[in-house]
Amino acid sequence: MPVSWRCMLVNPLQQAGFARDSARAFREDEAISFCSRKKMKRISNIRLAIKLPIIIATAALVASVGVGLGSYLYSSQSIQHLNEERLTLIVEARRQQLDFYFTSIKNDLKSVATNPNTRLSITNFSRGWRSEGKEPAKSLYDKYVTNSPFPIGQKQKLDSTKGSMALYDTAHGVVHPWFREHLEDNGYYDIFLFDVKGNLIYSVAKESDYSTNFSEENGGEWADTGLGTAFRQAMAKPAGEQSFVDFKPYGPSNGDPAAFLSTAVANDTGETIGVLAYQMPIENISAITNTVAGLGQTGETLLLGPDNLMRANSHLSTGPDILIGKLKNGVTEAAFSGTPNSDHGISRFGNDAHIAATPLGVFGAQWVVVVTQDLDELNAPIAGLRNAILIISGTALILMGLIGAAVGRSTSLPITRLSRTMDALARNELDVSIGYVDRDDEIGAMARTVEIFRESALKVESMNVDKQHADNLSADMIRQLRVTSGSLKSTAEEISHSSDNLSKRTEEQAASVERTAAAVREINTNVQTSTKRAEEANVLVSQAETNAERSGEVVETAVEAMGRIEASSKKIANIIGVIDEISFQTNLLALNAGVEAARAGEAGTGFAVIAQEVRELAQRSADAAKEIKALITTSGQEVKSGVELVNETGSALNVIVSEVRQIHAHVSAIADAAREQSAGLQDINHSIKTIDEATQQNAAMAEQSTAASHILANDVSRINMMLNEFEIGEGGGNPTEETSKSDNIPESYSIKSRAA
């Protein structure tokens, strides 16, 4: 059986179960070894230019697939975890914001309910209600709604009816601006005041529920609404405890959803005299839930009630969402049970989304804050990462293939060229150029070895040529000596003449060096003077730096004083606020006094005049307090401006101190440089002295050189006479002419003495 077939028959023989000891079988290890050797031989026969790119590309492919797959799996899991954690943090942040806002509303309701102005307002409005005749509800509705000069939605702009001296109108003109400003500052939809019988004796917005009755006993039109429930719950509780009625449609507000927060108001003896109620601010609540930071394009925050309906509008909706939008799934149900939760689910738009929910207690009611974001948007970075990994891996694979091709070519091409060069050297072609000798790798070592071989061959050839020319060198040397001796004689004479000139110039140079030494000494004196002036300037700059730092401390003291002035201005403003409050209270007391005087009839006429004067005096006090407050505010602004200017002055002084320090450093550097220059000039002075001494020595040596040049000229004349005693000849010909005709060297020359 041919040996080449054995590789193909090893596995079939094993599968067929042939015995190892069969006479026809052959040893498996021998066949496998043969196959391995044959494969290795085939691989070794592949050119390096092909083998290296394949190896590098294969390694790059394995590395790219491993790194890319690992990076994709790890990064996708990390991105999903970060997205879940981000939504959980966002829903908790929204819960805290809403909880803080609802707590602030609760505290504000309590503060207004316990305010003496509110108590006095309910008392005065109740008295004014009773003084309006048999139909007070219709009378007040006609005054402030039907006959109001302002359109629907702006009825709150009417402070009081013109020319009316009625008790209700007078009280309304006093307290309505304050309640309206409080409503606008806090964003409430409306503020209500009830008496104990359920009459809505005051409303800021003056909608269709104004001046109606909300008690069930009296059969009020809006008694079964959320506001009616809020009134009854507040009346059933002690003063100071709040009652909350969740969102549901409210007719007087065009049927829009409305929620109410109410509390009973008591007088100084603890007796309940009425109810204060707020209509919840929908826009402010929606503004908190519509914060879109960190939620991308599809994310939103929902506020759900126990019925799974929304309690705030969403920025992703084109219309209202309260009591319309709905979301119910396992995540929200777990949150309603009191457990914060986060998981995948279906958004209210029907999209796959990640949902995070957490419970929120709102005035005793259980709501849920929900944050959702579509999975397509959340997983978009993962898809982008996958595409980026594929692109990078493909690009890296292509680059590694190109690098492998370049490496293979850079390795195989030099070896091929060196092989051709060695073939040429073997043919004795020594003029070939050998490249790659500058490389530091193995190829460079091979090239340098070949270069050594070529240089050795060139040396052998050069030695043969030198041997042929050796005999001719002696004759040429004698002829050149004759020519050189003549030139040497002329040169010796020139040296003698030059030595004379050198001696004169050396003496002149010695005089110049002496003058230079004197000039250097004078410069050294000037530099020492400059050094002293620089040190004095350094002291002055140091003093300037100290003065600038003291000025900075003075400015800091001024800043502190201005701060104390600003604090005093704020205290004065607070005192003015107290005076304004006292004026307001005095006005209300005067109003009550006027009411009592009116009830007393003619007996209280004089008291009514006094009460009117007190009201006017209180009003003038309030106006004066406002003017003083405005002046104090302006003064505070001017003080603040002064503080800023003083701070700028301090900053400028700091810059001056910094620059003075730089000048100090520069002057110190100049002084140091001057001292170094002085030391350098001293060294130069010493060097010039040394040069002067050397110049004197050179002058003496020049005289000696002159004498030696004359002796040299005499010696050259004697050498020339001795060379003339020799003559060069060649048997049968003139060596000079023979040498000039051909480059071939004669076999022998004869050098004879004339004396012989």
Alpha helices in 45-115 (DSSP H): 48-113
Give the model's pLDDT for residue 203.
Answer: 97
* Local confidence band at 361 (pLDDT 50, 70, 90 cut-offs): very high
Give the model's pLDDT for residue 278.
Answer: 98
DSSP 8-state assignment for residue 604: G
For 412, phi then psi, to 5°, come to -80, -35
Mean pLDDT confidence for 600-612: 75
In DSSP terms, 346 is beta-bridged to 352
**Model confidence at 430: pLDDT above 80:** no
DSSP string, 583-610: HHHHHHHHHHHHHHHHHHGGGGHHHHHH
What are the tokens at 575?
């005192």
Give the model's pLDDT for residue 122.
Answer: 97
Q: Which of 730, 732, 551 lies closest to 657, judged by CA?
A: 551
**Calpha distance 302→370 (Å, rounded):** 5
Question: Which pLDDT tens digit goes with each residue over 662-704?
Answer: 887 877 887 788 788 778 877 887 887 888 787 778 777 777 7
Question: Which pLDDT tens digit goes with each residue over 101-146?
Answer: 999 999 999 999 999 999 999 999 999 999 988 899 999 999 999 9
Give the model's pLDDT for residue 18.
Answer: 40
Mean pLDDT confidence for 581-590: 80
**Calpha distance 491→485 (Å, rounded):** 10
What are the tokens at 593?
């006094």
* Local confidence band at 93 (pLDDT 50, 70, 90 cut-offs): very high
Give the model's pLDDT for residue 105.
Answer: 97
User: CB count, 10 Å around CB of 237?
Assistant: 14
Mean pLDDT confidence for 375-382: 83
What domains, with CATH codes, occur in the chain?
3-45 (no CATH), 81-102+295-381 (3.30.450.20), 114-280 (3.30.450.20), 442-723 (1.10.287.950)
Contacts of 146 (CB under 8 A, 6+ apart): none
Mean pLDDT confidence for 617-621: 82
Locus of tokens 């009191």: 338
Give the model's pLDDT for residue 163.
Answer: 67
Mean pLDDT confidence for 651-667: 79
Mean pLDDT confidence for 722-742: 51
**Model confidence at 573: pLDDT above 80:** no
**Model confidence at 147: pLDDT above 80:** yes
Note whether 244 and 261 are within 8 A (CB): yes
Give the model's pLDDT for residue 20.
Answer: 46
pTM assigned to the model: 0.50
DSSP 8-state assignment for residue 733: B
* Local confidence band at 745 (pLDDT 50, 70, 90 cut-offs): very low
Side chain identity, residue 420: R
Give the model's pLDDT for residue 599.
Answer: 75
**Model confidence at 492: pLDDT above 80:** no
Give the chain's mean pLDDT.
81
**Model confidence at 755: pLDDT above 60:** no
Mean pLDDT confidence for 239-250: 96
Note whether 382 and 38 are within 8 A (CB): no
* Local confidence band at 742 (pLDDT 50, 70, 90 cut-offs): very low
Q: How many CA atoms lie within 13 A of 368 on its CB side?
A: 31
**Calpha distance 37→34 (Å, rounded):** 5
Alpha helices in 114-166 (DSSP H): 116-130, 136-141
